[in-house]
Amino acid sequence: MDHKVKKDNLTNQRRQAILHDLKYAKEPLNATKLANKYGVSRQIVVGDVAILKAQQEPIVASVKGYLYLHDPDETYTIACKHEGHETADELGLIVDNGGVVLNVIVDHPLYGELVGNLDIHSRYDIDEFVEKSHALGAKNLSELNDGIHLHTIQCANVETYERIKKVLREHHYLYE
């Protein structure tokens, strides 16, 4: 067998193994752990995941690692607006009402759509996010647009999505 064909087969096998790992993972998998498992560099894994995403696999990257979205059709986009110090409250309202905050999206005048992957499932995740933000002195992406931003959220059903919109509206965070 030709060396290139053998290498391509091994690459495809690794990608399929990574995809399998992501589909059955109970928590996010980071690129370094996957790289160690498969004996390749972190950058190879990043490339493999990029190829899988290009093949329409519903994989998202978060600060904790990669996630496979089992029900990508159960995602919704909501528009929000608030001050930076209200971020934890806004995220808390979403997770307390059954949502998972997958990302934050802003429309930048120069770069277009900027996406920050969040993967926030709980108050614990919110606390970690806020703590890391403070430790790094990082500003929220929403500050680029006077507090206006989008979130992609994952919900069990449309009723959960409607409940989240209702509570965000009540707290004046829903941008309509």
Total residue length of the chain: 176
d(CA 121, CA 59): 16
Q: Residue 97: what pLDDT?
A: 93
For residues 38 and 81, membership in a common domain is answered with no
Lookup result for tokens 């495809």: 12
Q: Which CATH number goes with the domain that contains 11?
A: 1.10.10.10
For residues 153 and 111, membership in a common domain is answered with yes
Among residues 68, 97, 117, the one where a domain terminates is 68
For residues 163 and 78, membership in a common domain is answered with yes
DSSP state of 25: -
Among residues 68, 86, 104, the one where a domain terminates is 68
Would you say residue 1 has pLDDT above 60?
no
Q: DSSP labels for 88-131? A: HHHHHHHHHTT-EEEEEEEEETTTEEEEEEEEE-SHHHHHHHHH
For residues 7 and 53, membership in a common domain is answered with yes
Q: Which CATH number goes with the domain that contains 103?
A: 3.30.1340.20
Structure tokens at 108: 């930048």
For residues 123 and 146, membership in a common domain is answered with yes
State residue 121 phi and psi, 5-degree precision: -105, -20
CB 31 within 8 A of CB 49: yes
In 3D space, the residue among 45, 42, 43 whose CA is nearest the CA of residue 17 turns out to be: 45
146 confidence band (pLDDT: 50, 70, 90) = confident
Is 175 domain-assigned? no
Would you say residue 16 has pLDDT above 70?
yes
Q: Residue 17: what pLDDT?
A: 96
> Which pLDDT tens digit goes with each residue over 71-115?
655 889 999 999 989 999 999 999 999 999 999 998 887 888 889
